[in-house]
Structure formats: structure tokens, C-alpha cells
Amino acid sequence: MYRYFDAQDQLLYVGKAISLKKRVSSYFQKNHGGTRTGHMLSKIVRMETTVVRSEAEALLLENNLIKTQNPKYNILFRDDKSYPYLKMTGVPPAASIKPDTPLAAQFSRVSYYRGGVEKKHRYFGPYPSAWAVKEAILLMQKVFRLRTCEDPVFSNRSRPCLLYQIKRCSAPCVGHISAHDYANDVANAEKFLRGDAQGVMKHLEARMMAHSDKLEFEQAAELRNQVAALSNVLHQQSMDNVEDRDVDILAVKVQGGKACVNLAMVRGGRHLGDRPYFPVHVEDAAGLLDEAAEEAIEAAKADVEGQAAASAVVVPSQSVEVQVLEAFLSQHYIDVPMPPTLIVSEPVNKGLLKLLSEQVGFKVTAIHQPREQRRAWLDMAQTNAAIQLARLLAEEGSQQARTRALAEALDMAMDNLDDLRVECFDISHTAGEATQASCVVFHHHKMQNSEYRRFNIDGITPGDDYAAMRQVLTRRYSKIAEALNEAKHAGVTPTGTARLPDLVLVDGGKGQVSMAREVFEQLGLDLSLIVGVEKGEGRKVGLEELVFADGRDKVYLGSDSAALMLVAQIRDEAHRFAITGMRAQRAKVRVGGGKLEEIAGVGPKRRAKLLQRFGGVRGVGQASVEDLATVEGISKDLAEEIYRALH
């Protein structure tokens, strides 16, 4: 294992090599030109190494480091969110109910869950999407009529809810079903979720016949309805397979320098849907990994120990698909439960499977060329991978085309359109109340939410949008202007946060642009960066005109212009971001909710008691010190403190 670092001690790349000398020297024997690999080589200042027992072990270690350190030039799968689960609370069916067990805890609740797993509850999954969990919950309601209400609702019901009326719940909250019968339903539901659907069906049929023999026809009819509902569900689940209980199907598609891994899940014998993953840096890492493959092949051929030793050397394939799949397997299952069977579109290194098996504690098998039902699953996963990748390429192509159209429309000389940075400002308030300014950022062909900023505007005449624009632009660019001046006097090139955007969009016409021009003139910044988005006749979308601060004539790009579509998207996002912030600020100002939170000694419990006692913040503000002191937990000194804070 080797790791490259730059001058700032940032990890650039993690790799593995059978022959470290050959592998590392190969980077510098070729001319990589202006590629990203060439940029990486120019940044390397030092290297660290770690010796491991096998290449498969090196692969696992490599991807553990990639997952935790996010090196810039490796294939990286980024998790946008954790997987959801179906959660069952309450006492397990086999456990005995203690006398002091709360009523709600005696009747298990089925719910959607995402987060850390607790031992006192039962979890089923993971599921590939929230939709799949909600479908499973609906199934639990239809067939087993399990409750979904939260414990406070359950504990305070005096009559059945609508779900009981439409036969989606057995109403344990009001005693319409005994704890024993409900526990049987929970046990059957758990068996079904684990894949024993036929066993559940036979058990229900046996109970139905037993009630029928005893002439208990009402109970038999209820079980008959359950059997019918379960039979209907099993008929609809055409993709059920009683042999494969827990399986992951992984299909890889690589095209246009991008890759997609489509992960489909089978849990309890039921196909739960799929989820696409798009790794980053595939175009960079593919070339580097291919060089490593060539080196491994040469090492195997040159092995002096003979054919047997050469065959023991793990030779990675040069296929990018294989490299992406192995990276996914090594990274994804670090923190996600792994099933015992994998169905894959590419062959998987046996050494990697062996190490994964040791990692999870049971044998993991990977089937590359499946048959029958498994073949159908893999074909479906491959089709979905191709569709998802085509969608991604189409979206990125259109986004890049819009960026290019904007640069051409404004005559912007850009060597690399990926670096085009646009910042857009908007002002929002309600009749001068709670004025806020927003700054949104467009970079790398998309909106960068993490770089958005809001500015509370103070010290201006309420409703003066021009003064608000002056204040936000001054606050945003004054420090950047100072850094640019210092770099200019020092004779160095400014970097990092001292970089100005390539375009500053202002939501407004001549007035707002004039105000922006004044700010930039005072700060000594380039006026050509400022562009105002002036609404057209009747404020109709598509009729906007661009107003320039440097004296150029107004430009109308046309309603079907890709450049105008991009400008409108950025402007609308700035407007949305400003409005949401303004509404939150306005609500806080109007109700005075923030004042109680800021008082030392008034925590959530005391605040709740105050609001409940006086009917809201306004009532608390109108109360006297003596009235405040009558609330439980509020001393005379604290009451005086609250009164002073609110007055």
C-alpha cells in the first residue's frame, strides 16, 4: 500500500503494488501532460507505505482509507444518506410481558426508521429506498393489521381510529384484540419479513380450520380474510424466490468517463427495488489502476519460482468495470450489512471474497453468470444501470451546455468551464420587516448548497432594497478586496478564499445594478463582473433582460436561450433561499420565540410550562413578576429576570 501527500499534508491518492519500485517509477516515466493525473504528480511531495499479506487485503485497506480520507484522485463512492429500515417496537412475541410493562410496549408498533440500531427493538432491512419501507408497512397493515400509531396516541385513544374502520389495524389501543392474539400476528409478520411466507400461510390456515372445527366462525372468518390478503400479496410478488432469502445484485456500467453501480436488494425472498451509485474520479483512477494491472501481469510472468507461484499471484483485470465493482464492494460494506450471496455482472477476486467473509463472519459467495430467476434479476439490474447512467450523462451534458451558452452569451473567456463560478444576490422582506439578503453559488455546472449564505440586514430604512443590496455586497466582498490588494502589493497570485466569482448576478434592474457598481468602485473591483437580471414586460418568465454595470447595452437572450434558462434558475434559487430565511426570521420576530430561549435558566421544560400557563409568548410578556413566580419551577429572582428580558 502506498499513499501520496501534497505540501499541505493532504492525501492525494491511495494505491497498491506488488513491486513498489516499478509501480511508483511508472508514474514518472510517462508524460501525462495537462491531465488530472499530471496535476496530481506535480503536487506530490512525500509518500507513505504499508506492507500487507495479499493484494486482496491491500484492496480492503485501500478502500477503507478512501472511504475515511476522501483522496482527490481515487474512485470514491459517496453515501448521500443511510439506508432505511422497518422497525418493530415493543415486547418480542416470545418474551413474557412483565406486570409493570406499559400498555403501548405490550403491542408492537411497525414504523419507518433510519439511524442507529438499538438492541431492544427489531429491525428488518436495510431497504434500498423509503418507498420500499412504506410499501412493506402497508403490507403489514393489510395482512397482519399491526398498529403504526405513536405511543402517546396509542395510550390516549378512547375509540378506534379510521385505520380500524378500513381494516388496516386491529385496534389494540381500545382492547379489540387480546395481547396474545396480537403477539401471534406480530410473530407471523416477522416470519413473513424473514422470508417464511409459506410457513405463515400454513399456520394461518391451520388456525382457521381449528376455529372452524370449534364452530368459532367469526374468528375463522377473520383468519380467512388474512389468508386471502396474504395469498393476494404473494401472487402480486412475482419476483419472490423461496431459495434466495437475502441477496444483493450488483451491475456495473461504464460510459463517457462515468460509471454507475446499480444495487438491487432481495430480502426475505422479496425483491425490494434498487438504488444507483455514481463513483467520482473514475476517469482519473481508471488509468492509474490499469497501470497497476499491467505491472501485476508483468510481475506474474517474470516470477522465477515457476508456474505454480505465478498462478498464486492475484492479477487484477484491466477492466474498469471490475475495478469499479471491487471498489464498491470494499467501500460499501464497511458500514452496511452484507448478505451471504452476491450476484454480480463482473467476476470478483476470490481473495477479496475471502477477506470480506472474514470481515462479516460468514462465507460470502459471488455468482458471476447466474441462471433462471437470478439471471432475470441481473438483467434487470444491468438495464437499470444503463438507464441511470444515460440519465446522468444527459443531465451533465445539458448542464455543461447551459454553462457554455452563458459564457458565450456574456463573452467570458474561460479556459475551463468547470471553474465558472457565479454568485447571485437577492433581497427579501415583508413591508420592511425581517429584511434578509441571500447569496447562492453556482459552480461545477450546478448549485452548491453548502456555500449558500444569508445576511441579516440591519441599520437601514425598512423597505430600502438599494441600501440592503449595498450592505450585503459590502459585507461579502470587502475582505476579498483587501486580500486582493495585499496580494497585488506583495506580487503574488491570490488563491483560495481571495478569489472573486466570474459573475455576480443581482436580482434587479438599473437601480440595483447602480448600487452594486458603487460598491465595486469603492472596493476597487472589476465592474464587468456585475450583471443585473431585469424582469421583462408584465414580469413574465422568459422576457428577462440582462443589465451591465460597465456601461454595455442591455441584452435580451431570447425565451428559448439556454443561457437565460441558467440565469433564471440561479436567480430563482436566490429568491427561494432569501424568502425561506426571511419567513423564519419574521416568525421569530413576531412571536418573540427567540427571547425566551435566550434567557439563562429557562430551559425547554420551564419554557413549556410558561407557554402553557399564559397561552403563548405574548401572554408571558403581559404577565407580571408575581404571576410569573406562580409557575412551577420559576423562582422570584428568575421571574424578575424573565420580566426584564421581555421588557
Residues 352 and 257 in one domain: yes
Residues 307 and 350 in one domain: yes
Residues 230 and 276 in one domain: no
Q: What is the pLDDT of residues 552-586, one digit of tens each?
A: 888 888 777 888 888 888 999 998 998 887 777 66
Q: 67 in helix, strand or coil? A: helix
Residues 167 and 217 in one domain: yes
More confident residue, 6 or 273: 6
Which of 541, 563, 589 is the endpoint of a domain? 589
| Residue 201 in grid coordinates | 400461510
CB count in 10 Å sphere of residue 355: 21
Which of 554, 571, 589 is the endpoint of a domain? 589
Most confident of the ranges 74-78, 162-166, 242-246:
162-166
- Mean pLDDT for 150-165 is 86
Confidence of residue 113 (pLDDT cuts 50, 70, 90): confident
For residue 429, how many C-alpha atoms fall within 13 Å in the half-sphere facing its CB? 22
Residues 316 and 197 in one domain: no
CATH of the domain at 356: 3.40.1440.10
Confidence of residue 441 (pLDDT cuts 50, 70, 90): very high
Residue 309, pLDDT > 50, answer no
* Pairwise CA distance, residues 5 & 218, whole Å: 74
- For the chain, the straight-line distance linking the first and the last C-alpha, in angstroms and rounded, comes to 66
Instruction: Report CA 201 to chain centroid distance, whole Å.
Output: 38
The pLDDT value given to residue 517: 92
Residue 232, pLDDT > 70, answer no
* Pairwise CA distance, residues 529 & 549, whole Å: 8
CATH of the domain at 608: 1.10.150.20
Which of 203, 236, 269 is the endpoint of a domain? 236
For residue 576, how many C-alpha atoms fall within 13 Å in the half-sphere facing its CB? 10
Residue 287, pLDDT > 60, answer no
The pLDDT value given to residue 35: 66
Residues 258 and 197 in one domain: no
Does residue 205 sit within a domain? yes
Q: Is the separation of the CB atoms in 27 and 36 below 8 Å?
A: no
Residues 437 and 553 in one domain: yes
The pLDDT value given to residue 505: 92
Residue 634, pLDDT > 60, answer yes
Confidence of residue 122 (pLDDT cuts 50, 70, 90): confident
Give me the long-range contacts of 519-524 (CB less than 8 A, separation at least 24).
519/470, 519/473, 519/474, 519/477, 520/473, 520/477, 520/549, 522/474, 523/474, 523/477, 523/478, 523/481, 524/481, 524/485
The pLDDT value given to residue 242: 47
Residue 422, φ and ψ in degrees, nearest 5: -120, 130
* Pairwise CA distance, residues 169 & 182, whole Å: 11
C-alpha R_g of the chain: 32
The pLDDT value given to residue 434: 72
The pLDDT value given to residue 17: 84
Range of the domain at 579: 417-589
Confidence of residue 236 (pLDDT cuts 50, 70, 90): very low
**Selection from 543, 521, 517, 544 nearest residue 530 by Cα:** 517
CATH of the domain at 451: 3.30.420.340
Residue 258, pLDDT > 60, answer yes
Residue 376, pLDDT > 80, answer yes
Q: Is the separation of the CB atoms in 513 and 506 below 8 Å?
A: yes
The pLDDT value given to residue 81: 58
Could you give the number of structural domains in the chain? 4
Does residue 565 sit within a domain? yes
Pairing of strands 341-344, 270-277: unpaired
Residues 343 and 299 in one domain: yes
Contacts of 628 (CB under 8 A, 6+ apart): 610, 620, 634, 639, 642, 643
Residues 269 and 178 in one domain: no
* Pairwise CA distance, residues 610 & 627, whole Å: 10
Residues 440 and 581 in one domain: yes
Does residue 325 sit within a domain? yes
Q: What is the pLDDT of residues 452-461, one digit of tens each?
A: 999 988 888 8
Does residue 412 sit within a domain? no
The pLDDT value given to residue 473: 93
Given the C-alpha cell 473591483, which residue does it identify?
Answer: 525
The pLDDT value given to residue 306: 43
Residues 628 and 614 in one domain: yes
Q: 437 in helix, strand or coil? A: strand
Mean model confidence pLDDT for the chain: 80
Pairing of strands 530-534, 545-548: antiparallel
Confidence of residue 88 (pLDDT cuts 50, 70, 90): confident
pTM for the whole structure: 0.57
Does residue 397 sit within a domain? no
The pLDDT value given to residue 238: 42
Does residue 15 sit within a domain? yes
By percentage, how much of the chain surpasses pLDDT 90? Answer: 12
The pLDDT value given to residue 497: 59
By percentage, how much of the chain surpasses pLDDT 70? Answer: 83
More confident residue, 103 or 133: 133
**Selection from 559, 458, 470 nearest residue 508 by Cα:** 470
* Pairwise CA distance, residues 481 & 469, whole Å: 17
Residue-wise DSSP of 523-571 = HT--GGGEEEEE--GGG-TT--EEEETTSPPPB---TT-HHHHHHHHHH
Residues 151 and 100 in one domain: yes
| Residue 73 in grid coordinates | 484522485
Q: What is the pLDDT of residues 409-418, one digit of tens each?
A: 888 877 778 8
Does residue 288 sit within a domain? yes
Q: What is the pLDDT of residues 465-501, one digit of tens each?
A: 899 999 999 999 998 888 888 877 777 766 655 678 9
- Mean pLDDT for 297-320 is 49
Does residue 390 sit within a domain? no
Confidence of residue 80 (pLDDT cuts 50, 70, 90): low
